[in-house]
Amino acid sequence: MAQWVPRTRTDGSVVVQIRWRRDGRQYSETFTNVRLATEFRTAVEAAGNQWPEGWVRGEGWAIEPPPPPTPVRPTVAEVATGELGYFVQQERRVKRGKLEPYTLHRDRRCYVAHLEEFFGHLTFEDVDEQDVAAWIDEQLEAGAAPKTIRNRHGLLSSILSHGRRRLKLRPDNPCELSELPDLHTARPEARQIRFFQRREWTVFRSCLAPDVRLLVDVALATGLRWGELSALRVGDLTFSGHGADRQASLHIVRAWSRRSPEDGSVIKTAEQESATWVLGPPKSKRPRWVVVTGEVASRLESLVEARRSEDYVFVTSQGNPWRYPDFHTERWTPAKKQAAEAGLDKHVTPHMLRHTAVVWSLAAGVRTVLVAVAVARRPEPRARVAGFVRGLLAGLPRTTCWSIAEDAGEDDPRGMQRLLAGAVWDTDGVRDDLREYVVENLRPTQPGLGAVLVVDETGDVKKGTKTVGVQRQYSGTAGRVENCQVAVYLAYATTAGYTVIDHALYLPKAWTEDAERMKAAGVPGDVEFATKPALATAMITRVLERRCRGGLGHRRRGLRQRRRPAPSDRGPRPGVRPGRRQDPPHRHRDRHPARRRLRGPPRPALAPEQRRRRRPRPPDLRLGLDRDHRPRPGPHRRPDRPGRGPDRGPGRGRRT
């Protein structure tokens, strides 16, 4: 590469020297004209660091210089399907096990059917947000559902991000500015998780054919995906216990999935694979154990008795494993029609069995962590949550979805944005799991010591007015009144460490009294105004009510709650005449009602004869010597100064 070196001559004039090296030797040419120097430098680099053709050293061009090469401007189709395109990169991910082959086939089919005709001929650099908006309008006019448009838009954004980040063809991604159709407005039930009520399940189960009732009972008891359930073999089952304690342990090691048309692997007919279906690992990529107990375990044992270990557990009348399309057409759809005639007006799907297993387990008191392990939730959300937390703790200059996604190695921020804005997860369950984890791992290191709950409020300065709870109020972080949010935090501290286990956002009355503002910000309508001490009280009460689950309340492991008698059980205070108030108003620390709620009711007073006599107070020590040996007055000490002379008496000044 040629270097641009400015030089100053002895007469004060400035010249430009173009230097380059080739085969260990250095060459140079000096110019007084900047335009000519730029042309020469470009020609040297185009000639491979050689003297350009037609250039006379020290003189200039003998002939007109050749025109600069026209830069190649690829189209969207070349970025998507070219030699270095998006789908070539996705093929590498398939080989590394990062992507399912059928997913790649489905994305290619979506691009050809819905993106190539509109964007394929456009120059990649010229695509802007107006083109994307016009495509979205065209999709809406064609009758595509909002969820479908979002999926196709995600594929388009991935292709444009590939050209931006990997091929360096443009500095931005126009899909980031897209306004997608609202999923909640088009289908309010779209984000609702549908599940069976027990009465509904009783009606629907009675409408199913008898040969698949055990299959759906196992699906309801375990929450397995259809591909995992239909791929179970007899050798994957282990039975233990007797009678009512009989249980079956299911080892989930494989699952059915659709085979990609481009998949060139050998079809294993001995395992009953086909050109459409192929066996592979579970969706979570990890094997796991699931336990079934009671009557379902006994019926399952009777079903597989005297069968070979390599046989599939649930098979059709022809002995083939159940495929989802066959089950849905031949068993589920007829049962759904019959249940509708019996009064079940809910739209039911086989996947609702998985939702029902989760909801019923949580309602029975099973911990959220155990339910998540049993149903093997997809690892991507957990990995994204872990990446999001690491990004918050990484000390990034700005913690936005873009910066956190880049820190996590993702191509775009859509995953992080969906995690915060659209993902469905139980915030209270996460909080409870965090608290139990903290209590279990931050046990006091010294015997006999407990834990301490610390309450504090923290302000977060904001610029706008749309953030929930923002207004001009005092912020402890800023040390003054600012436009900010204020939240109350609850920390758990022991000798082993400390961390935050709960928090509550403070909503001023200006927010809780404005229903339209609350609705626009996504705040539930049942949220009422609560003071900060009330929020702290609710958090502390929540911890103390659940202290037995995580060890809270144990003398050695957690909090020790001091029990005091209720005000109605204390009775009148001895020595106080009837009709007089028993709580003297001069006790400053109990004046504030919120402080009294946090501290609890005062201790019952004792009769004068029950009180211990106050021990004599030890003599105080003054600064310096005592009364009999105090130093003589000097120029800096006045004997008649108040508090220094003998008239004050011992024990009346400052003490050490």
pLDDT in tens, 312-370: 999 999 989 999 999 999 999 999 999 999 999 888 999 999 999 989 988 888 877 77
Q: Does 542 fall in a domain?
A: yes
Reported as a pLDDT band with limits 50, 70 and 90, residue 505 is very high
425: which 2 tokens?
A: 């997860």
Mean pLDDT over each residue of the chain, to the nearest integer:
80
Same domain, 146 and 121: yes
Q: Does 519 fall in a domain?
A: yes
Length of the chain measured in residues? 656
Please identify, among 516, 550, 584, the residue that sits at the C-terminal boundary of a domain: 550
129: which 2 tokens?
A: 């947000």
Same domain, 154 and 118: yes
Residue that is written with structure tokens 């029902």 in the block: 356
Q: Which of 194, 108, 182, 175 lies closest to 147 in space, CA to CA?
A: 182
pLDDT for residue 559 is more than 50: no
Same domain, 84 and 57: no
The model's pLDDT over 146-176, given as tens digits with 9 standing for 90+, comes to 889 989 999 999 999 999 888 888 888 899 8
Residue-level pLDDT at 384: 84
pLDDT for residue 622 is more than 60: no
Reported as a pLDDT band with limits 50, 70 and 90, residue 568 is very low
Same domain, 508 and 458: yes
Higher pLDDT, 269 or 582: 269
Same domain, 179 and 214: no
* Helix (H) or strand (E) segment spanning residue 486: strand 480-494
Higher pLDDT, 606 or 202: 202
Reported as a pLDDT band with limits 50, 70 and 90, residue 629 is very low
Q: Does 370 fall in a domain?
A: no
Same domain, 260 and 182: no
Q: Does 445 fall in a domain?
A: yes
396: which 2 tokens?
A: 């990034």
Q: Does 241 fall in a domain?
A: yes
Q: Which long-range contacts (CB under 8 A, 24 or more apart) does 649-655 make?
A: 650/619, 650/620, 650/622, 650/626, 651/617, 651/619, 651/620, 653/622, 653/623, 654/622, 654/623, 655/620, 655/621, 655/622
Reported as a pLDDT band with limits 50, 70 and 90, residue 431 is confident
Reported as a pLDDT band with limits 50, 70 and 90, residue 96 is confident
Residue-level pLDDT at 608: 60
Same domain, 223 and 335: yes
Please identify, among 307, 339, 371, the residue that sits at the C-terminal boundary of a domain: 339
Alpha-carbon dihedral sign for residues 583, 587, 592, 596: negative
Mean of the pLDDT values across residues 444-451?
Answer: 80
pLDDT for residue 576 is more than 70: no
Residue-level pLDDT at 547: 59
Please identify, among 186, 220, 241, the residue that sits at the C-terminal boundary of a domain: 186
Mean of the pLDDT values across residues 77-86?
Answer: 92
Q: Does 226 fall in a domain?
A: yes
Same domain, 208 and 335: yes
Map residue 289 onto helix, strand or coil: strand
Reported as a pLDDT band with limits 50, 70 and 90, residue 642 is very low
Residue 272 sits in a domain whose CATH number is 3.90.15
Measured distance CA(218)–CA(229) in Å, rounded: 8
- How many structural domains is the chain composed of? 5
φ and ψ of 192, to 5 deg: -85, 135
Same domain, 385 and 417: yes
Q: Which of 475, 448, 473, 442 lies closest to 460 in space, CA to CA?
A: 475
Q: Which of 36-40, 191-195, 253-257 has the lowest mean pLDDT?
A: 191-195
Under a CB-based contact definition with an 8 Å cutoff, are residues 404 and 387 in contact?
yes
> Which residue range is the domain that position 19 belongs to?
3-61
Reported as a pLDDT band with limits 50, 70 and 90, residue 379 is low
Higher pLDDT, 568 or 436: 436
Higher pLDDT, 555 or 443: 443
Under a CB-based contact definition with an 8 Å cutoff, are residues 164 and 125 in contact?
no
Higher pLDDT, 648 or 480: 480
Name residue 13's beta-bridge partners.
Answer: none
% pLDDT > 70, the chain: 79
Which distant-in-sequence residues (6+ apart) come within 8 Å of 35 by Cβ?
none
Reported as a pLDDT band with limits 50, 70 and 90, residue 641 is very low
256: which 2 tokens?
A: 């059915």
Residue 154 sits in a domain whose CATH number is 1.10.150.130
Q: Does 335 fall in a domain?
A: yes
% pLDDT > 90, the chain: 35
Residue-level pLDDT at 604: 62
Q: Does 80 fall in a domain?
A: yes
Reported as a pLDDT band with limits 50, 70 and 90, residue 599 is low
Reported as a pLDDT band with limits 50, 70 and 90, residue 201 is very high
Reported as a pLDDT band with limits 50, 70 and 90, residue 589 is very low
Same domain, 210 and 328: yes
User: 407-429 as b/e, with b when 16 or more CB fall inside 10 Å?
Assistant: bbebbbbbbbeebeeeeeeeeee
Same domain, 221 and 288: yes
Same domain, 251 and 281: yes
Reported as a pLDDT band with limits 50, 70 and 90, residue 265 is confident
Residue-level pLDDT at 65: 60
Q: Which of 177-186, 505-514, 553-562 has the lowest mean pLDDT?
A: 553-562
DSSP letters of 505-555? E---HHHHT-HHHHHHTT--TT-----HHHHHHHHHHHHHHTHHHHTTT-T
Q: Which of 467, 535, 454, 562 lies closest to 500 in space, CA to CA?
A: 454
Residue-level pLDDT at 109: 93
Residue-level pLDDT at 639: 47
